[in-house]
Amino acid sequence: MPDKKNSKKKYLKKGRTHGQKVKLVRGKTAKRQCSICGNPLEGVPHGATKSGVRKLSKTQKKPSVPFGGILCNKCRTITSEEAAKIISGKKIEEIDLRFMPFVQAILKRL
């Protein structure tokens, strides 16, 4: 018996063909969200099929900045500012807990 988890239906959605018949079609990729604030990310593909995203080049899939494709612009700025403050003497316990893992990742790279 085929495994239900790996079946083709997992990524197929109900859609309409040009002849207005209901048929299963491949789903499109959703908008990606910032992992801190949840706002939609910029510079990442959405609305394309999975195979369409796979064919894009590396720089078309996500911006080539630290935490590109993970954090939005605002959160990335705050994270790097907090990392700079820690280097210049701020205590690590005073940071917002949501930013903590990303600040620690920056400090590890230095």
| Residues at the contact surface with Zn ion, assessed by CB under 5 A | 34, 36-37, 72, 75
SS3 content of the chain, % helix, strand, coil (to 5): 35, 15, 50
Given the complex with Zn ion, which of 25 and 37 has the nearer CB atom? 37
What is the Cα–Cα distance from 51 to 106, expressed in whole angstroms?
A: 33
What is the Cα–Cα distance from 105 to 108, expressed in whole angstroms?
A: 5
Given the complex with Zn ion, which of 38 and 89 has the nearer CB atom? 38
Give least dist CB 61 to Zn ion, A.
19
Given the complex with Zn ion, which of 75 and 95 has the nearer CB atom? 75
